Structure formats: structure tokens, C-alpha cells
Structure 1
Amino acid sequence: MLARRFQLHAVIGRGAGTTVYRASRVGGAGTVAVKVLDADTPPPGILARLRDEARITAALSDIPTFVRAEPPARLAGRWVVILELVPGNTAYSLLRHGPFPLAAAAELVGDVAAALAAAWDHPGPGGPIRLLHRDLKPGNLQVTPDGRVRILDLGIASAALPDRESGTGAIEIGTLGYLAPERRRGHSAPEGDVFALGVVLGVLVTAVFPTRTPSRPAAPDHALMALAAEMQAEAPADRPMMAEVARRARALAGDLPGPDLATWARKYVRDHEAVDARCGEVWSEDAWCTRLLARFRLPREPARG
């Protein structure tokens, strides 16, 4: 069997210990995203999480909001993950234009909440999948040029799959500023994702990023911020369930001022905004594309804890 080869075009993202390239298959059709692990020999737990991410996305293949991922592979001496290439920009990068219009922010959060509610109850090989994302933030939500939202990065997600390899439920892991109080004590449940999505909603509406330590939301001045405040309630039992968040956010999207997400996206979203110069090299044993990243003029999101 011939080894797979990819033409690397540009760096389109960078995460904790990874660099993501836009690439095309040499001798094949279509473009993909190639996530490259920076470490030559990553810890076994990292590879286990990446294999779990591929299992989860395969189990959720009929919920199009989630981005597809292949299991990690060894190519050109490096560990990589081949991902579905989703056009558009992250909500994080789009905040350079200022706060989202209220209707667009409500629609985005409603769509994310609906996908997460569906994934919680989605049937799997051993029963409902019970997906918990556990790292919801603007940088993990992609807006396409036609105004759809896609959920990225299930690398630390929790799911009830019988062949799951990694276990992260008993430790604090995620992005500081978006972690619910109980998550900081090592407890993961759907209410933690509701809290994080409430922080995301506040960021979209205000363009103000959270500090590393969660703080009580400001007094709401309209119905959408009131929903965000409820989602960030101190006690998990006081937060709405994800399905209710979806219902309420979508209802508000039809009543709030401003363009809808599709109209706004046509103005601001670009089809893959490279954060680096074009690469133009074929990835093989002797050619590897590395560049310095251009910096966004945005506050840096807190790193995962």
C-alpha cells in the first residue's frame, strides 16, 4: 500500500502541543486539516485521547455539528490526526470585529446547545453516548461562511463508549475561565457544559473574555444576558438543562435585534483564514513545513488546565 502524502498549504490553527495545517491529498481528491503533534514522542495518554476522539466522532456521524476525526497515524516520522476541513473562522477569531449581534449570538448558542443535547441521548454501542464536551469556548466553535456552527476538539470529551481508552473524569481539566465550580473539584456532568456555554454566550455578546478564575456575571440588561447568567449559576441544579438552553436561545434569536447568523457570517466569515504564510511544501520524510504564527490582535484565551 502506498503511504499517504499531503501537500501542506498554511497553518490555520494552533493548540496546546499541536499545529493544524490546511492540506490536500497528493494524488487524491479533497482537502483536509492535518493536526500535527509537536512532540516527537507524545505521552501514551495523548494518543489514547486522540483515538477516543475518533471513536466519538464516528459514533456521532449523523449529527453534522461535530467535526469528524480519524485515529492518530504516524506519517513522516510525526504523529498526526487527519480531520474534516471545515470552512470558516472560529468564534474566537471573529470577535476581532467586536461583539456578535444579539440575534446571531443567540442562534449560535442555540445550535450548539441543540447538538450537545442530542449527543447526550444519542444511541451508542452500549447505550446512550452521554457526551460531555468539557472544553467549550469560542476557539472551539467554528462559524462557516453560510452561517452554520460546528463544534471542534473532542480531545478531552467524556463519552460512555465501551472501548474508550482514556479516563479524565476525576481530574480538573479544561480551559480556566470556562470551568464550572464543580468541574474545578473534579466532577463532570452536563451542567458543567451548560456553565461553559453560558460563559461563551457572555463573551459573544460583550467581547469581554473571562479571567482565569470564574466570577459572577454582571447584572443582565436584556433577556439573552439573563439566560447567560442562569447558565452560570453557582449551583448546578439552578442551571437550565441543555435542551432548554437550545429552546430558549433559538426563541430569543427570532426576537432580538441584529442580523441572523447567516447574514452576519456572509459579511465577516472567510473561507479559511490562514494564520501563517502559505507553506506550499509536500510533506515527506525530507520536507516539513514550519513557520512562525502571526498573532491575532485579541486577548489570548486561557490555556487548558
Structure 2
Amino acid sequence: MSGPHHRRYEITAAIGEGGFGTVYLARLHGGGGFSKQIALKVLKPEKAETDEIATRLRDEARILGHIRHRAVVHVDGLVRVAGRWAVVMEYIEGVDLRAIARTYGPMPVGPVLDVIGEISGALHVAYHTSGPEGRPLRLLHRDIKPANIKVTSAGEVKVLDFGVARADFDAREAETRAVRFGSAGYLAPERLTGTDSAAGDVYALGVVMVELLTARRYGPTEVTPEHQAVQVDDRVGGLVTFGVPPEVNGLLREMLAWEAAARPSSREVEKRLAALRQGLGRSGPGEPIRDWAEREIPALARRIAAREPVTGDLVGRTLEEELSAVGGPAPIGNEPTMVLADPHAATVLQRRSRPH
């Protein structure tokens, strides 16, 4: 029987790119004629020897190896190819929410509630799943944003890129330090001063929800409760023009609360969205995500592929697996993830970014 070292990866295209790595569409060839289509997330050549980045990729793989939820990308392994660390994962044929907002415009209320409900459920499961030591992983994604969420033509929703996630398990390599990771505009207020919690992911999910309903950027995180209250009133209050029910607005205000303790849990968000969803019906703006996606995603995918081609140095090559390990991750989003070494500097940055 052939061992893992006999596996080969036939790279056919580059399908995603971020600051640290490139995601390729590939065909995995194993022993006994086994073959399947996969996605391969590979560190860029200039990042491959950076210890911090390689460590986080390996941790991402190990983390996702423990998570089982339909909305979390499935990982098949952590390997080395072409002298670089790479993660083998399921190939998700779909469109990310960032591209949908840019190309399609505001999404109907029903599909948005379905998408956010699925992600809420995935965050809840990821936080409470038991790790190898038998205790909850307490996983925090820390980079929830439209570019890190995909929708397929079958209406499946997938959370991607756990590259800056935090979790409690002994096998992790990266140290939890004062360095803060995240993307501008999706950081909860407390994260600017160095506090991480599950409530931070709920805040980011609230921002994503507003952006899907409006196809507009929410804006930078405000640094005072007074400024933030004005921002929420403007962004959420304006949803009435998009036909969003008042009950949805009320939930959004809670998700975007200044105080982390005032926000609902991801599980509560999931339950409340399910209840709101029932009241919408299943036609017009209330149609299910599956019906909307079957109609819209294929055409959107073709338009986006033609407009935003991705390149990578490994396209056209067949790579032998050099080393196999346990774990696995998800595609990198195309908005930059910030590394905030000084929370005060981040606060100053956000002040300067505020529109006048």
C-alpha cells in the first residue's frame, strides 16, 4: 500500500491570494489510482521561511482538523510541497461575499439571514468543540469579513481562513502575545485595546450583515462610545430604505453594541435569525439562500473570474509531497489582515481613518 509520501498534486490554477499565501486548484493523486480535486493553500516563496507565518499556517491546519461543521471548510492534511508548508483542503466552488457585494449589490434579506445564521452556528460549534485534551477549544476566528466567507451555487456557506484564529490546545505552536490580528473595519472596539473574546467575532459578523444588506462598507471602528453610537444609528437606521424588518435592525444593534458583554452569543444570534427567517416567508425578499444561489452564483462566478484573475508561481506544475502531518486550513481572503503590535497605534490609525 502506498504511503502518504507518494501523493502528488497537479496544480491547475490559482484561485485565491492573500498577503501570506496562494490558494491553488489542484488534483490530488494517491495510491491505487485514487484521485480527487482539492484546494491547496501554499505559503508564498518570500514568506515560506518566516517562522511566525509558517507557525500560524501549521496551527491553522491543526485547529481545523478538530472542527466538524458544514459551514467550516474541511481539511485533509498539512504537508510540504516545493519546499514550503501547505494545507490540503476541500475545494469550494463559489463566490466570496466581498465579490458578491461588489458585483451583485445588496443581497435580499432572506439569503442574508440564512448566511449569517450558518456562520453563527459554525462559530458556536468551533468555540465549544473539544480539543485533543478533552477541553473546549474556545476558538476565536478573529478575522470574520466578507472575503473570508464563500457561498456556493448550491447555497452552501463556508467560513474560510482561520490563519489568525486563537484556540486553547497544547499542540499549537504560535504564542498568544500582545500582537493583535484582524482587518480594519471589522475589529470590535475592545480589540483595539487588546481584548479578544467570542463577542469580537459576533461584532464582526454584525458588520458583515450590514454590508451584505447595503453593498456598502460599514466604515472604520470608532474609538469612543459616543462616536460608535452615531455610527450604528446611521448604518443600521438606514436599513429601512432596503426593506429590512425592524426586528432585524434590533438584533443588529445588539451585535454591534459597544460593550462586549451586551452582545448576544453566536448561538443566540443563530436562534434569533432562525425565528426571524420564519416570519419572512419563502418568496420575494424572503427566498432561501439555496434558491437565490442557484440562480445568481454561477453567473457571478463567471463575471468575477474574468475580471479578477489570480496568478501563482506553481500553476502548471505537479508537486510531490515532501512531508505529511496532521491538520488543515482554509483559503486566504483578498483583503489585507492587519498585524497590530501597538493597540494605541491602532486607535490613532482608526481616528485618522474616520471620514469627516
TM-score normalized by the length of structure 2? 0.74
Residue in structure 2 matching 1:232, options 252, 256, 261: 256
Q: Structure 1's 302 and 255: CA in aligned 2 closer, same or farther, altered over 3 A? A: farther
Say whether residues 1:107 and 2:107 are aligned partners.
Answer: no
Q: Distance in 2 between matches of 1:42 and 1:119?
A: 29
Partner of 2:12: 9
Structure 1 runs (4+) greater than 6 angstroms displaced: 277-280
Residues 236-262 of structure 1: CA deviation (Å, up to 9, x unaligned): 111111111111112222223332111
Q: Is the 8 A contact 1:23 1:34 kept in 2?
A: yes
Q: Distance in 1 between matches of 2:180 and 2:274?
A: 31
**1:3 Cα deviation (Å)?**
4.6
Q: Distance in 1 between matches of 2:172 and 2:162?
A: 13
Partner of 1:179: 187
Residues 83-130 of structure 1: CA deviation (Å, up to 9, x unaligned): 221221111112210111101101111111112112222222231111
Partner of 1:304: 338
**1:164 Cα deviation (Å)?**
1.3
Residue in structure 2 matching 1:246, options 236, 258, 270: 270
Coordinate RMSD, CA, aligned? 2.4
Residue in structure 2 matching 1:261, options 286, 289, 305: 289
Partner of 2:213: 205
Determine which structure has more spread, i.e. the larger CA radius of gyration.
2
**1:170 Cα deviation (Å)?**
2.9
Q: Distance in 2 between matches of 1:280 and 1:76?
A: 12
User: Mapping of 1:31-50 within 5 angstroms?
Assistant: 31-40=37-46, 41-50=48-57
Q: Distance in 1 between matches of 2:206 and 2:121?
A: 14
Q: Is the 8 A contact 1:6 1:25 kept in 2?
A: yes
Runs of 5+ unmatched residues, structure 2: 223-227, 241-245, 321-333, 340-356
- SS class of match (1:124): coil
Q: Is the 8 A contact 2:16 2:310 kept in 1?
A: no
Partner of 1:150: 158
Runs of 5+ unmatched residues, structure 1: 286-299
TM-score normalized by the length of structure 1? 0.86
**1:135 Cα deviation (Å)?**
0.6
Q: Distance in 1 between matches of 2:132 and 2:88?
A: 24
Q: Distance in 2 between matches of 1:226 and 1:56?
A: 34
User: Mapping of 1:65-214 within 5 angstroms?
Assistant: 65-70=71-76, 72-95=78-101, 96-126=103-133, 127-168=135-176, 170-214=178-222
Q: Is the 8 A contact 2:149 2:157 kept in 1?
A: yes
Query: Which has the larger helix fraction?
Result: 2
Q: Output the amino acid matched with 1:230.
A: E
Q: Structure 1's 79 and 125: CA in aligned 2 closer, same or farther, altered over 3 A? A: closer
Q: Is the 8 A contact 1:102 1:224 kept in 2?
A: no
Q: Bigger relative contact order, structure 1 or 2, given CA contacts below 8 A and separation 6+? A: 2
Residue in structure 2 matching 1:19, options 17, 22, 26: 22
**1:82 Cα deviation (Å)?**
1.8
Q: Distance in 1 between matches of 2:44 and 2:191?
A: 28
Q: Work out the percentage of aligned pairs sharing the same amino acid.
A: 37
Residues 167-203 of structure 1: CA deviation (Å, up to 9, x unaligned): 2453221111000011111111011011011101111
Q: Structure 1's 54 and 301: CA in aligned 2 closer, same or farther, altered over 3 A? A: closer
Q: Output the amino acid matched with 1:261.
A: I
Q: Is the 8 A contact 1:169 1:186 kept in 2?
A: no
Q: Structure 1's 76 and 28: CA in aligned 2 closer, same or farther, altered over 3 A? A: farther
Q: Distance in 2 between matches of 1:70 and 1:46?
A: 20
Q: Is the 8 A contact 1:35 1:81 kept in 2?
A: yes
Q: Output the amino acid matched with 2:72.
A: F
Q: Is the 8 A contact 1:103 1:254 kept in 2?
A: no
- SS class of match (1:246): helix
Q: Is the 8 A contact 1:103 1:260 kept in 2?
A: yes
Say whether residues 1:59 and 2:92 are aligned partners.
Answer: no
